[in-house]
Amino acid sequence: MSLLTTTMIAGGVALGAYFGGPFALVPLANNDTFVTYISPGDGKMILKGGEFHDFFISLPGSHLNRPGASYYEKKERPWEILPNAPGTIDDDYDERPAWMKTFGYFPVGIPFQRSVNEEVFEWKEESGGQIIPRRELTRKFKVNAFPYVIVQTEVISRDGLPLRLTYIVGLRIINPHKALIETEDWLVQLEAAIQQAVRNWAAGFKFMELISQTDARGSKARMKENFELEVCKLSNEMRIRFGVAVETADLKAPMPEGPKAQAHLDSIAAPFAAKQAAEVKVIDATAQAAAEEAVGMVKAKVDKALAEAAVAGEVARYKAAEENKEGASVVIAGEALKGATVFAMPAGVSKLVDKLGEKL
């Protein structure tokens, strides 16, 4: 395009903005033409002639360490996202024209010379308990923390069980130049580094330890906290290598996988099953002993009662025999005493005893 044509287009936009007001630029901003919008937490890369030219971000409380700017800090890495210095505000780091700040526009430049970078971004996210792969053609990148799901297979525990680990890491780009320009496929490389660290970490624990709530090594930290600490140790290295910080890591329940997984689980479960069966036998034996003891106690009480009754009968029979000198039959509890000596009993007393026996 000739310089005259470019100048005419630029002049037309300027006149439109002048007479129609800044709102006349809304359709252009929606298409990243001349100006653009950037939502809070996002950033955009501006290209010039197909090559990197500039970055713009929208992150309250932070700013880009832009080379050549009045606020550039030489001690920090170029294009690092830094927190605002104490006593400063976002406007102190914003070099846009006042009207752009007011209406939320960011400069792109003359079309066909400058444009917003566009690339395919692939990631995974969790939704409803399922891991869903995403692929999107986008013109923006995230500068606040965002979740990234990693599904890692063939992770071997200390007791040799192959596992499938699913975990969510919180990532944040802290240097877009390092991540998007200096590093090829930064997310792929970052994921590979995290997976290697996780593989080494899991190899130090048995499966039953990995699914437990506490660290079996004696630490008071929970296993999930142990995992997060291990993964987030990479953050400083990842900042330097890829310009990305690893801020959080959440491990989901490890899942055994592979043809040998079930056999391995059975071998792990066998001692627990045997212990449980032994405990059941002990309980059964204890219950049987208690039952036998209870039966013995009841039998003893019955025997005692019968013995006491027999003694009482013998005493009664003896007394009756002593009191009766006429040799009449003595009846106790309605039955003749077996083997009792028959003594003579007066007729009147004999009748009284008979009636007493009938009542009993």
Residue 125 confidence class, pLDDT cut points 50, 70, 90: confident
Mean pLDDT value of segment 327-353: 45
Report the phi/psi class of residue 47: left, alpha or beta, with left for phi > 0 and alpha for psi in -120 to 50: beta
104-108, 192-196, 199-203, 339-343: range with lowest mean pLDDT: 339-343
Question: Higher pLDDT residue, 184 or 25?
Answer: 184
pLDDT at residue 60 is higher than 80: yes
| pLDDT given for residue 312 in this prediction | 60
pLDDT of 346 over the 60 cut: no
Residues 6+ apart with CB under 8 A from 12: none
Q: Which residues of 113-141 are buried (b: 16+ CB within 10 A; e: fewer)?
A: ebbbbeeeeebbeeeeeeeeeeeeeeebb
Task: Indicate whether 25 pLDDT > 90.
Answer: no
Torsion of CA 199, 202, 204, 209, to 10 degrees: -170
Mapped onto helix, strand or coil, the DSSP state of residue 210 is helix
Superfamily of domain 119-258: Band 7 domain (3.30.479.30)
Question: What integer pLDDT is reported at residue 9 of this predicted model?
Answer: 43
Q: Residue 239 to residues 59, 171, 178, 236: CA-CA distances in angstroms?
A: 18, 11, 9, 5
Asked if 140 and 42 touch (Cβ cutoff 8 Å), the reply is yes
Q: Across the chain, how many H-helices and E-strands are there?
A: 10, 16
Question: Would you call 129 helix, strand, or coil by DSSP?
Answer: coil
Question: What CA–CA distances, in Å, run from 240 to 170, 175, 182?
Answer: 17, 9, 11
* Predicted confidence (pLDDT) at residue 178 exceeds the cutoff of 80: yes
List Cβ neighbours of 173 (8 Å cut-off, separation of 6 or more).
43, 81, 141, 142, 143, 179, 180, 243, 244
Least confident interval from 161-170, 219-228, 270-279: 270-279
CA dist., res. 156 & res. 83, Å (int): 41
Q: Is pLDDT of 2 > 60?
A: no
Structure tokens at 126: 């969790």
What angle is formed at CA 346 by the lines to CA 341 and CA 347, rounded to 5 degrees? 115
Token digits of residue 218: 């004696």
Instruction: Quickly tell me which residue has 């890369």 as its tokens.
Output: 45
- Report yes or no: 83 and 62 within 8 Å, Cβ to Cβ: yes
Domain boundaries, the chain: 3-116, 119-258, 263-359
Whether pTM > 0.95 for this model: the answer is: no
pLDDT, one tens digit per residue, over 72-116 is 999 999 999 999 999 999 999 999 999 899 889 999 988 888 999
Tokens 């291990």, residue?
230
CB 108 within 8 A of CB 114: yes
Give alpha helix (H) positions in the chain: 3-20, 26-30, 98-103, 176-177, 186-202, 207-210, 223-232, 235-242, 261-323, 347-359
pLDDT at 303: 66
Spell out the SS3 assignment of 277-338.
HHHHHHHHHHHHHHHHHHHHHHHHHHHHHHHHHHHHHHHHHHHHHHHCCCECCCEECCEECC
Cross-strand bridge partners of residue 300? none
Cα(167)–Cα(169) distance, rounded to whole angstroms?
A: 7
Q: Quote the CA–CA distance of 11 and 5 in Å, as a whole number.
A: 10
CA neighbor of 117 nearest in space, from 173, 54, 175, 66: 54
For residues 36-59, give the mean pLDDT: 95
Residue 234: strand, helix, or coil: coil
